Structure 1
Amino acid sequence: MTGPDGARRGSRAPYLFVAPAVLLFLAFLAIPIGYALYLSLRGLRLTGGGIFGTRQEVFVGLDNYARTLADPDFLAGFGRLALYGLISVPLTLGPALLFALLLDYAGARGRRFARTAIFLPYAIPGVTASLLWGFMYLPSTSPFSYLTQELGLGEIPFLTGGGIYPSLANIAVWGGVGFNMIIIFTSLRGIPAELSDAARIDGASEWRIAWHVKIPLVAPALVLTGLFALIGTLQVYGEPTTLKPMTPEISGVWVPLMHIYTSAFSRDDLPLASAASVILAVGTLVVSVVLLKVTQKRAFGGMS
């Protein structure tokens, strides 16, 4: 029989196992978020007047939020994100689903090599990938522009005008398709083979099996990858920052995260940057919740 000491030790065991995760959550998530909220309500004001005035941090309430929401550069960054997302999100999910369905096809060959080849770009760090593609975009080093110039078609405007959006989206697509493909392919492998076999016996083609059997059953994986792609779009920073020295089209406040970085480290205004960070975080949360609600309603509506 277990004595009182053993019972007490058993009752403490779950808390001991959970404690490391709770400490990490507090240290790297809860406390930084709380400090960001605190900073967003503060502001830097000049006190003393004249040339001998000093900057002091004072409570300003929601003033930083009002300034951020009234900043045309910050709001324009969301417009650029929308154009970027309209290109990158569908092109990230569509090929990933197609590759996953092809790899799940019973007659597919070289699956292991294909999975590795498709997933490999995701293993390359985003900054490295941006640099590699940046050199392929520059007119002086681009092999694509070299070919078009040899054909008399002129250079391809990768980094000028509207071409900057598909150029940036291409980097995200190149690196993100493999990750999404693995998630969708894993979900496909969890579908019982009997469902596809029954559909084949009924005379359904592979296309009909994919459209009417497989895709509906992997809808949760599609929602998950779509949510990841959407959050990644709202948090775009590395690609435009890496390409910024290569083109005048990208400014220091081109997307919201670049605006936050500029406010914090170039303008030395951490309270304003904290307010912008909170707005971006809340916006990301709202968009994520709305997406989940919409997809859940469609899923349950289709089941009813």
Structure 2
Amino acid sequence: MTSTSRKAYGVKGAPYAFLMPATVLFLLFFALPIGYAVWLSFRKVKVSGLGLGSGARKEVWAGLENYTDALTDNELVAGALRVLGYGCIVVPVMLGLALLFALMLDSEKVRLAPVRLAIFLPYAIPGVVAALLWGFLYLPDVSPFYFVLEKLGLPQPDLLDGGPLYLALSNIAVWGGTGFNMIVIYTSLQAIPTEVYEAARLDGATPLQIALRIKIPMVAPSLVLTFFFSIIATLQVFNEPTTLKPLTNSVSTTWSPLMKVYQDAFGKGDIYAAAAQATIIALATLLLSFGFLRAANRRNKQEASR
């Protein structure tokens, strides 16, 4: 092989060499665990006799048995319904506030960096720490809010019991996630050419009309992106209810689907059923996300063709 051909081969192989570390890490710590979990979901443990002695417990092929059991599990279905109600509160409120804050920061009257930092700062706090913080604020015995309500003679609702629990959990998610979504939308607003606003002002458009008819439609891709991320985060809710569980009896060990997976895997020791449930949750997340993105792309194409 000549020196010229070796140099050409080296140039062509350089991108693959740079991608090799990331590819190896992806295969070892992402693709391989997923494949192993899917493999476990088709297995189960067969117990012979009393399950004592060597060979009494062995792993066998289960087929779709774990998936059938998961889809007919009342606890998993109930957890999915609870997460659905939780998401109906979190997603619209969080994205609505993120859009409102982004529009406010993009206006000429609000340009202070500390304001952006104050809104974004809760996102930098770990989810477990935020849940602990709010959890103690929800407890009547230690919360300063309940002390103020008592002195004012106002009702003191129990936010960790019954229906208010959804509001308590949603508040933690909204408080922590609004800042991130705001930054995404605000960045898109900053990319809009100023000439567009100047032309609208010359046509007599008010700031409200500019926001509703120019800014919001032009940041629609960012809204789709944030909505996509919010759906995934909602379906995978785990930290907030798990952290609040020691503070109230209203949160069970299977309150959300991921909590059910954790309980089956580490509480009951049935990693095979847990793997099947985790696979179902992943497929549901994938289908919902793919369906939403496809619907959004179809709408964008229809609007572009008009």
Q: Return the TM-score normalized by structure 1.
A: 0.96
3-state DSSP class of the match of 2:158?
Answer: coil
1:105 aligns with 2:85: no
The equivalences for 1:278-289 within 5 A come to 278-289=279-290
Cα drift, residue 42 of structure 1: 0.4
1:52 aligns with 2:70: no
Q: What one-letter code is carried by the residue in structure 2 that aligns with 1:90?
A: P
Cα drift, residue 55 of structure 1: 2.4
2:187, 2:273 → 1: CA distance? 43
The equivalences for 1:53-92 within 5 A come to 54-92=56-94
1:132 aligns with 2:96: no
3-state DSSP class of the match of 1:221?
Answer: helix
Cα drift, residue 17 of structure 1: 1.0
Cα drift, residue 149 of structure 1: 2.3
Q: What one-letter code is carried by the residue in structure 2 that aligns with 1:162?
A: G
Equivalent pairs counted in the alignment come to 302
Cα drift, residue 109 of structure 1: 3.6
2:51, 2:57 within 8 Å by CA — same for their partners in 1?
no
- 1:136-164 Cα offsets, whole Å, 9 max, x none, are 00111122222222233332221011000
Q: What one-letter code is carried by the residue in structure 2 that aligns with 1:214?
A: K
Cα drift, residue 126 of structure 1: 0.4
1:292, 1:109 → 2: CA distance? 33
3-state DSSP class of the match of 1:258?
Answer: helix
Other-structure match for 1:184: 185
The equivalences for 1:201-212 within 5 A come to 201-212=202-213
1:51, 1:2 → 2: CA distance? 67
1:295 aligns with 2:296: yes
Q: What one-letter code is carried by the residue in structure 2 that aligns with 1:129?
A: A
Q: What one-letter code is carried by the residue in structure 2 that aligns with 1:188?
A: L
Cα drift, residue 107 of structure 1: 2.7
Q: Return the TM-score normalized by structure 2.
A: 0.96
Other-structure match for 2:172: 171
- 1:67-112 Cα offsets, whole Å, 9 max, x none, are 11111000001100011001100111011111111111123242x1
1:78, 1:255 within 8 Å by CA — same for their partners in 2?
yes
Cα drift, residue 57 of structure 1: 1.3
- Mind listing any 5+ residue stretches in structure 1 that lack a counterpart? none
- Mind listing any 5+ residue stretches in structure 2 that lack a counterpart? none
1:232, 1:130 → 2: CA distance? 15
1:144, 1:294 → 2: CA distance? 44
1:293, 1:147 → 2: CA distance? 49
Other-structure match for 1:96: 98
1:281, 1:114 → 2: CA distance? 37
The change in CA–CA distance for 1:294 and 1:268 in structure 2 (over 3 A counts) is same
1:262, 1:45 → 2: CA distance? 21
2:111, 2:193 → 1: CA distance? 21
2:272, 2:46 → 1: CA distance? 11
1:119, 1:179 within 8 Å by CA — same for their partners in 2?
yes
Cα drift, residue 2 of structure 1: 7.0
Other-structure match for 2:9: 8
1:300, 1:215 → 2: CA distance? 18
Other-structure match for 2:271: 270
1:117 aligns with 2:118: yes
Q: Percent identity?
A: 50
List structure 1 runs of 4+ shifted beyond 4 angstroms: none
CA RMSD across the alignment:
1.4
